[in-house]
Amino acid sequence: MAEQQIIIAGFGGQGVLSMGQILSYAGLLEGKNVSWLPSYGPEMRGGTANCNVIISEELVGSPIVKEADAAIIMNLPSLEKFEKFVVSGGNLLINSSLISEKTSRRDVKAYKIPANDIANEIGNAKVANMVILGAYVELTKIVSPKSIIQSLEKVLGSSKRNLIQINEEALKRGAESVKCLV
Amino acid sequence: MARDLMKGNEAIGAAAIKAGCRYFFGYPITPQSELPEYMSRELPKVGGVFLQAESEVAAINMVYGAAGAGARVMTSSSSPGISLKMEGISYIAGAELPCLIVNIVRGGPGLGGIQPAQSDYFQATKGGGHGDYRLIVLAPNSIQEMCDLVMDGFDIADQYRNPVMILGDGILGQMMEAVELKKPKKRELPPKDWATTGIKDKYGKKRLISSLFIQPEDLEKHNLKLQMKYEKIKKNETKFESVYADDADIVLTAYGTTSRIVSNAIKALKKEGIKAGMIRPITLWPFPYEAYEKAADSAKAFLTVEMSLGQMIEDVKLGVNGKKPVHFYGRTGGMLPDQTEIVEKVKKILGGEI
């Protein structure tokens, strides 16, 4: 891996920006160069949110992702908006719990991950983002799952330490959901 | 301190506190509000003062007062807010007071938008406020460099008794990158024996901070003294980065976020065997004109790339001094320059199409 450029998109409140931060932090923990660029603007809960993440062995040039090696798509409007940015042969991870439509792209590797359903099975709908992140990390091996957990501890802080376990479980289940496909 | 992941706006605050800044006066505005938010949380912890003023005009005049009393002080805003501060900035420059002003630029003119832009270049480098004054304008292109320049910026301000501006943009304010707070190079800073601290000066005279010189003879003398200072700053503080500019057929120029898009474009051009380089001004004032004098002998053409519609190009043309053509590509209003469009533009220029 010389460089991975990722777009993560969905509704505000789905943990789209946190997912990007956790991934970036994990990259940093592994000594890589990282950038995290959020969309910002007049949005409310339920509006759209997205971020660009770059994890690289080299210095990061432009932090703006126009040719994504992967896109993690949490809702339908994001699929329509961002599927075109994935490079040919790139990974497109689709949250199939909320998106029944198929991608119009035939030249990318599309993975359907029922992130919300798996999260509900575990017992906390809020960890849907970690489910799909687990799948992404399993597919790309961009960082180790251990680094993700470590960065979770940093991002969640000591007051939410009790949530580490369920997040860990979510990451594992997400990884399992794509293991048979790889 | 180990490398930490920080948002640009927060990193500015962390660097400022590390540099000894203990006073922040400001007013929130997108896309820089995380900076006053950070200061409101962190400054009280180190015994500092955070004050959200009733307006930008009030905030800059609080900076004027604190700087006059010798404090290490800063303010921040984004474009429309900086316009409001311009009167105060002129007064501060006239009274020769050190302070740090951060502008995380958004699209203009007027209320404009909230997405990143570089359209405040003229305002920052050519005046903005009234009178023959200069701001020292520093333009980082990464969160790390932003931290470094904030820390050095306070020292530069003290060394020359001059306001320093950090000119960023919405992307630099909002993005996260790894940073390490490093001490800047040591500067010999003069004592603040002019500060109005209630102490008389060494001749037993009351200290006075003012930008009023009612006699034209006095005001001219004051202005000439300022000019001498500006000449010294030009000589000592001009800073730029040169990327493959020495043997390039075409030399691009960009600062801040735009320079990172340009560096991607240069990589893409290299893959196609096209020799492109970049001069990246780090100080926008003083502008690194001499970098262009040299490059104008070897390069065939220049291309200035901006998130504005042709502001810095005027300085590039002054530097190139008519020796070679200077072309322009820019996007504005919160739209970002596109790497592919830059590559195409370079090919057209070198192909003689434009």
SS3 readout for B31-98: CCCHHHHHHHHHCHHHCCEEEECCCHHHHHHHHHHHHHCCCCEEEEECHHHHHHHHHHHHHHHHCCCC
Amino acid in position B110: G
Question: Could you tell me which residues come within 8 angstroms of residue B318 by beta carbon, excluding any fewer than 6 positions away?
Answer: B287, B289
B92-150 pLDDT, tens digit each: 999 999 999 999 999 999 999 999 999 999 999 998 999 999 999 999 999 999 999 99
Q: Which residue has the higher pLDDT, B274 or A13?
A: B274
What confidence score (pLDDT) does residue B90 get? Answer: 98
Interface probe with A: pick from B9, B146, B169, B176, most Cβ of A within 10 Å: B176
Indicate whether A120 belongs to any domain: yes
Confidence band for A1, pLDDT divided at 50, 70 and 90: low
Which residue's structure tokens are 């240069």? B266
- Cα separation, A106 vs A90, in Å, equals 11
Apex CA B53: angle with CA B49 and CA B54, to 5°? 160
- Cα separation, A28 vs A25, in Å, equals 5
Q: Indicate the residue of B114, B174, B260 with minimum beta-carbon distance to A62.
A: B260
What's domain B4-237's superfamily in CATH? Thiamin diphosphate (ThDP)-binding fold, Pyr/PP domains (3.40.50.970)
- Cα separation, A50 vs A10, in Å, equals 6
What confidence score (pLDDT) does residue A46 get? Answer: 75
Please state at what angle helix B56-68 crosses helix B79-94, rounded to 10 degrees: 30
What confidence score (pLDDT) does residue A42 get? Answer: 79
What confidence score (pLDDT) does residue A104 get? Answer: 94
- Cα separation, B147 vs B126, in Å, equals 25
- Structural domain harbouring A111: 3-177
B148-181 pLDDT, tens digit each: 999 999 999 999 999 999 999 999 999 999 999 9
Q: Do B114 and A28 touch (CB under 8 A)?
A: no
Q: Where are the domains of chain B?
A: 4-237, 242-350
Interface probe with B: pick from A21, A22, A37, A54, most Cβ of B within 10 Å: A37
Task: List chain B residues with CB under 8 Å of A37.
Answer: 171, 174-176
Touching check for B111 and chain A: CB below 8 Å?
Answer: no
The answer to whether the CB of B319 falls within 8 A of the CB of B251 is no
A98-137 pLDDT, tens digit each: 999 999 999 999 999 999 999 999 999 999 999 999 999 9
CATH 3.40.50.920 fits B242-350, yes or no: yes
Residues in chain A: 182
Touching check for A179 and chain B: CB below 8 Å?
Answer: no
Q: Indicate the residue of A37, A61, A64 with minimum beta-carbon distance to B267.
A: A61
Task: List chain B residues with CB under 8 Å of A64.
Answer: 171, 261, 336
Nearest CA of chain B to the CA of A35: how many Å?
Answer: 5
Annotate B264-300 with b (16+ C-beta within 10 A) or e (fewer).
bbbebbeeeebbbbbbbbbbbbbbbbebbeebbeebe
For chain A, positions 17-46, list CB contacts with chain B under 8 A.
21, 24-25, 28, 33-38, 40-42
CATH number of the domain that residue A74 is part of:
3.40.920.10
Apex CA B245: angle with CA B243 and CA B249, to 5°? 130
Exposed, middle or buried by CB within 10 Å (0-12, 13-18, 19+), for B200?
exposed
C-alpha distance from residue B91 to each of A107, A133, A168, B98, B198 (Å): 61, 53, 57, 12, 21
Mean pLDDT of chain B: 96
Question: Could you tell me which residues come within 8 angstroms of residue B56 by beta carbon, excluding any fewer than 6 positions away?
Answer: B26, B27, B77, B81, B82, B84, B85
- Cα separation, A49 vs A39, in Å, equals 6
Question: Residue B91, Cα to own-chain centre: how many angstroms?
Answer: 18
Mean pLDDT of chain A: 94
Annotate A15-42 with b (16+ C-beta within 10 A) or e (fewer).
bbbbbbbbbbbbbbbbebbbbbbbbbee
- Cα separation, A26 vs A9, in Å, equals 19
Rounded percentage of chain A residues whose pLDDT exceeds 70: 98
Task: List chain B residues with CB under 8 Å of A24.
Answer: 5, 176
Which residue's structure tokens are 């690194």? B288
Q: Do A34 and B261 touch (CB under 8 A)?
A: no
Q: Indicate the residue of B115, B171, B338 with minimum beta-carbon distance to A63.
A: B171
B204-231 pLDDT, tens digit each: 888 999 999 999 999 999 999 999 999 9
Host H or E run for residue B326: strand B326-330
As given in the structure block, the two tokens for residue A68 are 């994504």
- The domain tally of chain A equals 1
- pLDDT at B351 exceeding the cut of 80: yes
- Cα separation, B18 vs B28, in Å, equals 22
Confidence band for A182, pLDDT divided at 50, 70 and 90: low
Mean pLDDT score, B71-83: 98
- pLDDT at B183 exceeding the cut of 90: no
Touching check for A1 and chain B: CB below 8 Å?
Answer: no
Question: Could you tell me which residues come within 8 angstroms of residue B93 by beta carbon, excluding any fewer than 6 positions away?
Answer: B129, B131, B133, B134, B135, B162, B163, B211, B226
C-alpha distance from residue A134 to each of A79, A127, A145, B105 (Å): 19, 11, 8, 37
B232-259 pLDDT, tens digit each: 999 999 999 999 999 999 999 999 999 9
Exposed, middle or buried by CB within 10 Å (0-12, 13-18, 19+), for B140?
buried
B256-287 pLDDT, tens digit each: 999 999 999 999 999 999 999 999 999 999 99
